[in-house]
Amino acid sequence: MNSYTTCKLTPANDKLFYQNDLGITQIGDPFILKVSDHTYYLYCTSAANGYYCWKSKDMVNWSGKNMCFTKKSDSWCVDSFWAPEVVEYDHKYYMYYSARADSGSLRIGVAVSDKPEGPFEDVKNEPLFDLGYAAIDANVLVDDNGSKYLYFSRDCSENETGGIRKSEIYGVTLSDDMLSIAGEPVLLTTPTQKWEKASVNPLWNEGPEVIRHKGTYYLSYSANCYADQSYSVGYATSSSPLGPYTKSENNPILTAAGSATISGTGHHSFALSPDGTEIWMAYHTHTDPKAGGGNRKLNIDKVLFTDKGELYVDGPTICSQPIPSDGSYTNITADAKITASAAGSSLLTDGIFSLHQKDSKYDCSLSAAEGTAAVTLDFKKPVKLSHILVYRGVAKGQDFSSVKAVFDDRCITEECPLSEDTDERAAILSFDEQTVTKVELILTPRNSNDKISLSEIMLLRQN
């Protein structure tokens, strides 16, 4: 029988973790811009006569609230300042925004500044374009070859077919000077999938965001009413920036899914982590999930692409997570060979986890028939380790109550409990740095269950 020394658990380093309580409320439609000096700027639906912006170095801690765009007295627009997005191009910053013209119809405008914090000035003092219908939610893609494209939503306020009002997403070529469009907009998506029809009438496809990954264009968007819990994110793909686009069968990829504590996950944007190795999604949820409505807050969660090219969001989350990668820690999980009493144990170290879905193909169910379940992670050479995160899965009746870690059959940690609160998804083991070649996790099932459902395991080294 092995004789173990005890490794005491210590409080987790708060600087390494965050929760989606980032202090930015009374906003909507968050857009995060990472500029050339690696500072982040956050622009949102946030003021009656324009837009505020905030600054950050890590996407977690925001400060410096500043009015970056203010409507002039002789402006073409009067109110409904929504969904600003800013593009850095050729040493200038172009803000594309939605507003209501004095005619009462919604339009898209463009304002320019020499600095990301503004002030932005509307260089045209007229809509970017006017096609005779309401248009909102502009998004710009500058492609790898320098071509520019504008995506927007034709708003349901002036778009009706067969008695159903619809918001639909269009794309069009943007001029080289960023100040006009070229050609006729092309219809890219309309509400067709079952999940997009929770609102019944009107229906929405809005808030487009297009990114390119390995030659494929991913058009992600929001559907259903922003004020309702059902507001969620899906995506479609194409081999061309202007389509045709095919919607994913995995939609929605970000949804509250009936949660009592999360509501209205939508209208998002993408940004790279401080070290450029990760993609993150910024999106809003209702500040009060029971009330819904227009009071929304900022959230961020990590985005991945699966081996099959599927777009996946590790969220929505409330629980503790590692901050966007910035060099202060290293995730060494991928270096480990995992062994567990379950098929598909590699799913536990693939970086993909599910939290609020009713089921998940990325979860793994471990046998706990003998009172515990074990997972072993082996390294080819010694590694340094300071934090372990174990995320519960979504299978009902397969929760775990605690976990402890054994290092190289010589040292065992104190037991780390997992709260019964279903929103606290991760047990975090934090300890003085250990040099190890093998980690064995021993999990105790809750209520003597014979199975334990896990979604992900992370091993971190603090740098």
Is 29 labeled as catalytic in the residue annotation?
A: yes
Phi, psi angles (nearest 5°) of residue 195: -65, -20
* CATH number of the 5-14+329-462 domain: 2.60.120.260
**pLDDT above 60 (res 1):** no
- Mean residue pLDDT across the chain: 95
Residue 83, C-beta contacts closer than 8 angstroms, at least 6 positions apart: 28, 29, 31, 45, 97, 98, 136, 137, 138, 207, 267
Segment 179-237, tens digit of pLDDT: 999 999 999 999 999 999 999 999 999 999 999 999 999 999 999 999 999 999 999 99
How sure is the predictor about 359, in pLDDT bands with cuts at 50, 70 and 90?
Answer: low
Q: What is the mean pLDDT of residues 105-113?
A: 98
Active-site residue among 29, 168, 209, 301?
29
Active-site residue among 122, 137, 206, 209?
206
> Following DSSP, what letter does each residue of 11-30 receive, concatenated?
---GGGEE-S--S--SBEEE
pTM above 0.85, yes or no: yes
Phi, psi angles (nearest 5°) of residue 252: -80, 150
* Reduced DSSP (H G I as helix, E B as strand, rest coil) percent helix, strand, coil of the chain, to 5: 5, 50, 45
Please tell me whether residue 303 adopts helix, strand or coil conformation.
Answer: strand
- Predicted confidence at residue 459, as pLDDT, reads 98
As assigned by CATH, the class of the 20-318 domain is: mainly beta
Q: In the chain, which segments carry CATH 2.60.120.260?
A: 5-14+329-462
Q: In the chain, which segments carry CATH 2.115.10.20?
A: 20-318
Is 184 labeled as catalytic in the residue annotation?
A: no
